[in-house]
Structure 1
Amino acid sequence: MPEPKRILHVSTAFDVDFPGGITNYVRTLAQSQVAGGAVVGVLDGGQSTSWRTHELGFEVRGHRATQVAHFSLRSPKDTARSREVLDVIREFRPDVVHFHLTIGLGRTFYREFADARIPYVVSLHDYFLFCPRITMMDYTNNDCGGPERRKCESCIGVLDQVDLVRRGARKLQIQLPRIPSTSVTRRNEDIAAFFRSASTVLAVSSRVEELYRGVYPDAKYVVSHIGSASATAEREPKTPADKVRVTALGTLSKYKGAEVLAEIARRLPADRAVVRFFGRVDEERWGRAAEEAGVELRGSYTPADLPDILADTDIGLAVPVWEDNAPQVVMEFLNHGTPVVATRMGGIPDFVDETNGFLFDHRTTEGIDAAARFISEQTPAGAAAWGATIPRLSTPADHRASIARVYAEAASPS
């Protein structure tokens, strides 16, 4: 089956050039498809409302329904805007549409698009399509463990959907009274129709498929690990050191495991290990806690800095406390020949096992103790020898080839 020649990606809420995991993925995939001879468009969350040619060769535009001013737990019907977005999609004349983010689109969009008979696939990069909070971190800011109707209707309650009230409560750090609402249930009933009519629903990890299948069982799921550009990068040799250098990358936040990072650092012997964090600190309290635990905060970094950072790294640390779908930082560590110590959350177990790292349960003292003990038993030379045996993961080209087969199946006459 030939690959479709007109491909449209839908990735709302953010400009396609936003430096985030999903937008980085969409840009890379769209660029590779253009290089393969396809005409590619991206309907993003940017301010431009007319098609323009991006420097990477694809066409891009936004729409007022895809431009999200701020995060909201409301689920607007927005029938008129939904039809306008559908008109924009039809205008592009796609052979296949690939959905990545739909934040901002009204509830009716899902049913109307499902009825439009345009071939489409859906990628599940986060949990937005069953959890309006996106991360499955509940109103107490803790991992909810998974969706369940009554629990979700309490978590996305009446007061939570009033933006002013919700933002005020967050600023004052108070919990809103739980007044259950059926809004999230009605929203997900609309999305269920969207899933049923999709040619394929691409889950970025096994855990993502498991969670979504529990909510929307009537869909065709395929686990599709995204390709990482780091799989094609040259591995820099590890620099010598007298202590094990443990590196965490990204954002220092509760969701990303700031408290877990501090707990591990506090347990490591200072004469044998050093812990560094490169990236943005979400709140001052997490930075203070990390420094008090002995973590060196090295500030922000760019992709160009990554080879040098990882050449000075013996063990990579990835400790999200949410069901992180498929953390690209884990892929970067492994592709640069760096063993990974990580929480057993989300998509991480799809990539990390005893052959290339160590998984632990951050919710128990025994788990954190085990992670710290494992790190303290390593040496720079031993970690470097181990890292040299770690195979690379999928490249963007590998992933594009698998996506092309999914597109061809979607666009072929049934």
Structure 2
Amino acid sequence: GCRRGCLAQTPGYEDRMGANMRIVIGVHHFPPKYRGGAEWRAYRTASALLKAGHDVLVVCIEKIDDAQAKPLAVKEDVFEGVPLQRLAFNLAAAPDPLQWEYNNEWVGTHLLDLFDSRNTDLFHLMSGYLMTGSALMAARQAGVPTVVTLTDFWFLCRRVSMLRTDGTLSALPIDALRCARCLGEEKRRFRLAARFLPDLMNRYWKAQRRNVNYFEQRWSFLRDCLVETDLAISPSKFLRQMYVDSGMVARRMEFLRQGHSFGSLQSTDLQKSPSDFLRVGYLGQIAPLKGVQLLVDAILQIPSRQIELHIHGDSGMHPQYSNALSLAARHDPRVVLHGAYERSQLTSILRDLDVVVVPSLWYENSPNVILEAFAHDTPVIASNFGGMAELVDDERNGLHFAVGDAADLAKQICRISEDPSLLDRLTQGAAATHPPTVDAEIEDLLGLYHLAMHRT
């Protein structure tokens, strides 16, 4: 990864970096309607670059089912000082909707014109999903230096998460036949057949050359897009290694952890409010792959009444899943659903939590919530793999539990509940973990932009 100040000695660095750069940031979605980790990261990056005097425009996708867009509608907007273009199109009306998922020529054509008209110095793609590889192709055609943030597994996996339709995790190497099966099994009838007649279905999918070809073409196109990209940034070493091992690589592959933007937290902000209960918290999206149901199941297995579970997050995206959680909450007063929250409420939410749980069933990358918890001196219990295990140091600033295992998660929560000295020790460990600030991240990011713009 890059070290602050390492590039300051490069000849011409100060002149070029001090200059006003014209930067376009591409991301799949953007607030206020969409509030995931990548969306907020794009917002924080754009805000910080604007503050540093650069000319920044964000381009995001607002709708993919807009029947009015012929073929692409562009809406100019400003969100909290960040200028942006919100694009809308109707994916179902594309010449080949499946291919358009990874190579959206409407987006590519729009960006090609935009790069030219803005005389763009650098394009930073913060997520391939929905923007697609055509965004990178457009930058290459326009001769614009390009940086990609590897937010997730989108380049490797159509489902973004490497989590298969049947709930199992996919691993390297990427196999087009396995991907074709996964796509087919999104239809329930194929999912049931796969469970009861696996050999027959194996032969069936081999015969479905069209789907297998689709995944071979997707892989080859996106690999071509990435291999010509000047620099790819991964916020976790785990994800960076996955991409390197898969052979899907840019010219340079750098590690740079995302920063948090809590300014200077006062000691009063970090002081926990008093409670006779162990307050366990979940913050983030209420979605199946996030493992929220697993956390609820773990709490239901614990007999102690001295525990509360506080779930903070928007339940609108997966209503059926959220309803199941609401049902559990109605049957057990220890489980409290608080609904969506604003980032400005994070400090007060974390003051009322003793420990945060990140029970994801997929690998994750570099979850914001873990960095946010540490910034607020709060230990984390996390699934013992992927980007979560990289951030949470087991027994020092949190605990690991066996991924997908509610009984093991319950056991770790009980350990903390029954041993106040363990909670104290983990809290001290969390307080001693200093996640980078956004300012430090942006300083390093500008250094990486410089490397991308002065490719050798």
> Common fold, TM-score beyond 0.5?
yes
- 1:246 and 2:280 matched: yes
Q: Tell me the residue number matched to 1:61.
A: 85
The offset of 1:229, in angstroms, is 1.4
Cα distance in 2 for residues equivalent to 1:22 and 1:57: 18
* Contact 2:376–2:431 (Cα < 8 Å) also in 1: no
* Contact 2:125–2:147 (Cα < 8 Å) also in 1: yes
Q: Tell me the residue number matched to 2:363.
A: 323
Question: Which contiguous aligned blocks of 4+ residues in structure 1 show a shift greater than 6 angstroms?
Answer: 67-70, 170-177
* Contact 1:68–1:104 (Cα < 8 Å) also in 2: no
Give the alignment of 1:307-386 within 5 angstroms.
307-353=347-393, 354-364=395-405, 367-368=408-409, 370-379=411-420, 382=424, 386=428
Identity of aligned residues (%): 20
Q: 1:18 aligns with which of 23, 29, 34?
A: 34
Give the alignment of 1:143-182 within 5 angstroms.
143-146=169-172, 148-157=174-183, 159=184, 169=187, 178=205, 179=208, 180-182=211-213
Q: Tell me the residue number matched to 1:226.
A: 258
The offset of 1:325, in angstroms, is 1.5
* Contact 2:25–2:57 (Cα < 8 Å) also in 1: yes
Residues 195, 313 of structure 1: alpha-carbon distance in 2 compared, 3 angstrom cutoff:
same
The offset of 1:105, in angstroms, is 4.6
- 1:126 and 2:160 matched: no
Cα distance in 1 for residues equivalent to 2:311 and 2:234: 29
Give the alignment of 1:198-347 within 5 angstroms.
198-219=229-250, 220-230=252-262, 232-234=264-266, 235-281=269-315, 282=318, 283=321, 284-289=323-328, 292=331, 294-347=334-387
Residues 6, 352 of structure 1: alpha-carbon distance in 2 compared, 3 angstrom cutoff:
same
The offset of 1:147, in angstroms, is 5.1
Q: 2:143 aligns with which of 117, 132, 142?
A: 117
Q: Name the count of aligned residue pairs.
A: 404
Q: Tell me the residue number matched to 2:51.
A: 35
Q: 2:441 aligns with which of 374, 399, 405?
A: 399
Show CA shifts across 1:232-266 (max 9, x none): 44433112222211111223332111232023213
The offset of 1:356, in angstroms, is 0.8
The offset of 1:411, in angstroms, is 1.3
Cα distance in 2 for residues equivalent to 1:106 and 1:310: 36
TM-score under structure 1 length normalisation = 0.85
* Contact 1:317–1:340 (Cα < 8 Å) also in 2: yes
Q: Which amino acid aligns with 1:31?
A: S
Residues 378, 192 of structure 1: alpha-carbon distance in 2 compared, 3 angstrom cutoff:
same
Cα distance in 2 for residues equivalent to 1:100 and 1:155: 29
Cα distance in 1 for residues equivalent to 2:235 and 2:111: 26
Aligned to 2:433, the other structure's residue is in SS state coil
Aligned to 2:281, the other structure's residue is in SS state strand
Residues 385, 134 of structure 1: alpha-carbon distance in 2 compared, 3 angstrom cutoff:
closer
Show CA shifts across 1:21-58 (max 9, x none): 21211111111111111111111114795684625444
* Contact 1:314–1:384 (Cα < 8 Å) also in 2: no
Residues 390, 95 of structure 1: alpha-carbon distance in 2 compared, 3 angstrom cutoff:
same
The offset of 1:119, in angstroms, is 0.4
Cα distance in 1 for residues equivalent to 2:418 and 2:119: 58
Aligned to 1:280, the other structure's residue is in SS state coil
Residues 221, 384 of structure 1: alpha-carbon distance in 2 compared, 3 angstrom cutoff:
closer
Q: Tell me the residue number matched to 1:163.
A: none
Q: Larger deviation: 120-129 or 11-20?
A: 11-20
Unaligned runs of 5+ in 1: 161-165
Cα distance in 1 for residues equivalent to 2:379 and 2:435: 13
Q: Larger deviation: 1-10 or 97-106?
A: 97-106
Q: 2:122 aligns with which of 96, 113, 134?
A: 96
Aligned to 1:238, the other structure's residue is in SS state coil
The offset of 1:113, in angstroms, is 3.9
Cα distance in 2 for residues equivalent to 1:211 and 1:277: 31
Residues 384, 193 of structure 1: alpha-carbon distance in 2 compared, 3 angstrom cutoff:
closer
The two structures, once aligned, show a CA RMSD in angstroms of 3.3
Aligned to 1:62, the other structure's residue is in SS state strand
Show CA shifts across 1:38-81 (max 9, x none): 1111111147956846254443213446x8689x9812255465
Residues 135, 120 of structure 1: alpha-carbon distance in 2 compared, 3 angstrom cutoff:
same
Residues 368, 78 of structure 1: alpha-carbon distance in 2 compared, 3 angstrom cutoff:
closer
* Contact 2:58–2:84 (Cα < 8 Å) also in 1: yes
